[in-house]
Amino acid sequence: MGHQHYNGVKTAALFGVMWAVLLGIGWVIGGGTPRFLWIFTAIGLVTTAYSYWNSDKIAIRSMQARPVSELEQPVMYRVVRELSTTARQPMPRLYVSPTMAPNAFATGRNPQNAAVCCTEGILSLLDERELRGVLGHELMHVYNRDILTSSVAAAIAGVITSVAQFAMFFGGGSDRDRGGNPLAGLLLVFLAPLAATMIQLAISRTREYDADEDGATLTGDPLALASALRKLEQGTQARPLPQDQKLVDVSHLMIANPFSGAGAAKLFSTHPPMAERIARLEAMAGTQGGITRY
């Protein structure tokens, strides 16, 4: 699927910057050779592999979701089956989370091991057309392998933070040994984790734009998703999830930011502004002549 906003290129570029930051900090504290970089990288790869392989179980458990049958959720089953068939992908497992905070997410390492979860809140808030738009968005996260993308981004950011903490507590006196500027090394140690976090968030926001666009293409109805996002913006603010660490860890998977926040908190959001997402979908509908398949 073609991306009007070149989101794939943006993601690749952001990963390039993140790797440059990682190599830069490793070079500085390693005295010109990344002495400890490989150790932290190996640790990051192991933890990432575990999280990626078990991403569906972790997210489902965090939201206390339960599997539902077609008899319990006929609309959800019908819509997901139709969209999966259209995309020529296997039917994912379906779950419902017992919370009235309106949200939805999809997870799983590949389409064969995918799970889609809706909260009770979103099922009562949206009509079928809007729910179809949301489910199209979530399925595209799986088809685009966004779970892998976010896992790798989190791993690199984690390695950068670990290396910086190691340098801060155990020295990294390489600058002194080389007669360099210790202040520059100190700034890098403090600023590199912040830069890594900001890049990780930018990657997450870029993947949301991608899922919006590809999901709207899958359903053929960009305005349905735009309408759903309007309702979700109000619904999540009225019923935010608590800032529990388990929920924070999986919040990037959800279609809408599940926490209340304003001002500086928006800078560190894993989700792009709703107004921008809605504007892009409306523009997308305009280029299609306002014709939908639903």
Q: Please report whether residue 230 resides in a domain.
A: yes
Q: Please report whether residue 2 resides in a domain.
A: no
Q: Please report whether residue 173 resides in a domain.
A: yes
- E strand or H helix at 127, and its extent? none
- Residue 75: the pLDDT is 97
Q: Would the pTM count as exceeding 0.85?
A: no
Q: What's the distance, CA 12 to chain centroid?
A: 15
104 in helix, strand or coil? strand
Rounded to the nearest 5 degrees, what angle is found at the Cα of 268, between the Cα atoms of 170 and 216?
Answer: 130
Structural domains in the chain (count): 1
- CA–CA distance, 27 with 74 (Å, rounded to integer): 56
Q: Please report whether residue 294 resides in a domain.
A: no
Task: Find where tokens 């089956």 sit.
Answer: 81
DSSP conformational letter for 113: G
What contacts 250, CB < 8 A, 6 or more positions away?
Answer: 58, 59, 62, 63, 105, 107
- Residue 123: the pLDDT is 98
- Residue 230: the pLDDT is 97
Domain containing 249: what range?
A: 7-287
Cα→Cα distances 72→75, 76, 110, 124, 263, Å: 9, 9, 26, 14, 41
Residue of 138, 208, 213, 233 with catalytic role:
138
- Residue 180: the pLDDT is 47
DSSP per-residue letters across 129-192? HHHHHHHHHHHHHHHTTHHHHHHHHHHHHHHHHHHHHHHHHH--THHHHTT--HHHHHHHHHHH
- CA–CA distance, 239 with 78 (Å, rounded to integer): 28
Cα→Cα distances 46→8, 50, 52, 152, 230, Å: 26, 6, 10, 11, 39
Question: Is 38 exposed, middle or buried (CB count within 10 Å of its CB: 0-12, 13-18, 19+)?
Answer: exposed
Phi, psi (5° rounding) for residue 115?
-140, 140
Q: Please report whether residue 110 resides in a domain.
A: yes
Q: Please report whether residue 1 resides in a domain.
A: no
What type of residue is 282? E
- Residue 125: the pLDDT is 97
Strand order from edge to edge, sheet including 66-67? 66-67, 93-97, 115-119, 104-107
- Residue 1: the pLDDT is 47
- CA–CA distance, 7 with 192 (Å, rounded to integer): 24
Q: Please report whether residue 42 resides in a domain.
A: yes
Pairing type for strands 104-107 and 66-67 reads: unpaired
Per-residue confidence in pLDDT tens, the chain, 294 aa: 445 445 556 566 666 766 666 666 666 665 555 555 666 666 666 766 776 676 678 789 889 999 999 999 999 999 999 999 999 999 999 999 999 999 999 988 789 989 999 999 999 999 999 999 999 999 999 998 887 777 677 766 766 776 666 666 655 544 444 444 555 556 566 776 677 777 777 778 888 999 999 999 999 999 999 999 999 999 999 999 988 878 887 888 899 999 866 544 555 677 899 999 999 999 999 876 544 443
Task: Based on the residue annotation, tell me whether 138 is a catalytic residue of this protein.
Answer: yes
Pairing type for strands 66-67 and 93-97 reads: antiparallel
DSSP conformational letter for 75: H
Question: Is 239 exposed, middle or buried (CB count within 10 Å of its CB: 0-12, 13-18, 19+)?
Answer: middle
Question: Is 85 exposed, middle or buried (CB count within 10 Å of its CB: 0-12, 13-18, 19+)?
Answer: exposed
Q: Please report whether residue 293 resides in a domain.
A: no
Helix axes 182-219, 274-287, angle to 10 degrees: 40
- Residue 168: the pLDDT is 63
